């Protein structure tokens, strides 16, 4: 099923904070009794997107509700510090993805920077520390991290986007350890080796499957994570701008598909803001802001512009959260508007 897009501008001002409370209410409607934030009401749940959704709640002041998402993480953490990659789904799953496990560091640091609650950091430090210990066990001699573990073994490949996310997580972990005076198990050498691998060892990624270079996240996420300095980052952005950007609607998820996704466009907006490409960021923000269902003003996951239809017919909580984070980056609703700039 698909729906035709409405091109009417049905919002008052994209910089009016009150608009985003509608997205927060939707996210809260998808939070289950244990604190986990589902993709949609009574739908599946994964650890990474649970955290992303909690970060969206941070921006709009829902402190207790955001913290409840970490209660869910604590309850479902595996004995080795990881999480299974998917919950409440008919899909068979026994994988433990490294970037899913490490991302709790980004979420916790973001939560703290919003609410300044050191007790929160202290309370969830054991959960975080175990997650990072699991993640570090996946680093290869080249600096990259194996992307996942099954019941017994590491799976022999690495993802550029996943490793970039881990890099950002390790930086946040170190900030938390310093803030509450805990033992920091991440060495500068481990971080250097990961950054060096992401910059200089492309052969370590997509070794055993088709290249992910067609995916926009492989283009912008290393920049968002802070792998490149500003001049390098701008060159990277310009090198594939025409490959991924549709000037009418936003960022393609995949370079050879006419499919705009709101979450990827929102993350790209945050990335552009990080490197002071503010005009490009605001232009994209205004374009992607149109891709909502006019009935409830909640975002669909994506839009197929060749067919002029929304697809798939899903409204993920993490899509709404990514958009909230992009708005905060541009408008500075809270002190964490510059969160990704300062990592």
pLDDT in tens, 151-178: 889 999 999 999 999 999 999 999 999 9
With 50 as the cut, is the pLDDT of residue 108 above it?
A: yes
| Nearest by Cα to 135 from 111, 167, 180 | 167
Give residue 92's pLDDT: 74
Structural class in CATH, domain 31-212: mainly alpha
User: Phi and psi for 194 in degrees, rounded to 5?
Assistant: -70, -45
> Would the pLDDT of 226 be above 60?
yes
pLDDT tier, 9 (very low <50, low <70, confident <90, very high otherwise):
very low
The pLDDT-based confidence of 12 (bands split at 50, 70, 90) is low
Q: Which residues of 132-169 are buried (b: 16+ CB within 10 A; e: fewer)?
A: bebbbebbeeebbbbbbbeeeebbebbbbbbbbbbbbb
* 261 phi/psi in degrees, rounded to 5: -120, 135
Instruction: Break the chain into its structural domains and give their ranges.
Output: 1-14+213-343, 31-212
pTM metric for this prediction: 0.96
pLDDT of 331 over the 80 cut: yes
Burial of 183 (0-12, 13-18, 19+ CB in 10 A): exposed
Strand partners, 260: 252, 303
β-bridge partners, 292: 299
């Amino acid at each position: 099923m698909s729906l035709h897009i409405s091109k009417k501008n049905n919002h008052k001002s994209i910089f009016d904070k009150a608009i985003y409370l509608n997205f927060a209410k939707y996210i809260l409607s998808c939070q289950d009794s244990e604190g986990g934030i589902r993709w949609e009401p009574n739908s599946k749940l994964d650890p990474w997107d649970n955290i992303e959704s909690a970060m969206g709640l941070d921006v709009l002041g829902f402190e207790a509700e955001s913290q409840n998402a970490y209660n869910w993480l604590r309850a479902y953490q595996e004995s080795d510090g990881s999480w299974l990659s998917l919950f409440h789904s008919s899909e068979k799953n026994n994988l433990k993805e490294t970037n899913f496990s490490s991302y709790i560091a980004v979420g916790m640091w973001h939560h703290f920077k919003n609410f300044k609650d050191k007790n929160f950091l202290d309370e969830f430090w054991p959960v975080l520390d175990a997650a990072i210990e699991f993640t570090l066990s996946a680093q290869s001699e080249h600096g990259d991290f194996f992307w996942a573990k099954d019941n017994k073994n590491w799976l022999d490949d690495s993802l550029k986007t996943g490793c970039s996310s881990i890099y950002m997580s390790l930086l946040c972990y170190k900030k938390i350890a310093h803030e509450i005076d805990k033992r920091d198990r991440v060495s500068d050498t481990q971080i250097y080796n990961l950054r060096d691998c992401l910059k200089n060892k492309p052969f370590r990624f997509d070794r055993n499957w088709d290249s992910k270079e067609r995916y926009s996240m492989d283009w912008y996420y290393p920049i968002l994570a802070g792998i490149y300095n500003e001049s390098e980052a701008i060159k990277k952005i310009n090198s594939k701008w025409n490959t991924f950007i549709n000037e009418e609607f936003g960022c393609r998820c995949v370079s050879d598909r006419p499919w705009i996704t709101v979450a990827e466009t929102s993350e790209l907006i945050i990335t552009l803001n990080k490197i002071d490409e503010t005009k490009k960021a605001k232009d994209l923000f205004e374009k992607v802001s149109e891709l909502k269902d006019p009935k409830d003003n909640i975002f669909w996951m994506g839009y197929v512009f060749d067919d002029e239809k929304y697809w798939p017919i899903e409204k993920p909580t993490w899509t709404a959260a990514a958009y909230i984070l992009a708005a905060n980056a541009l408008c500075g609703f809270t002190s964490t508007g510059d969160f990704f700039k300062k990592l």
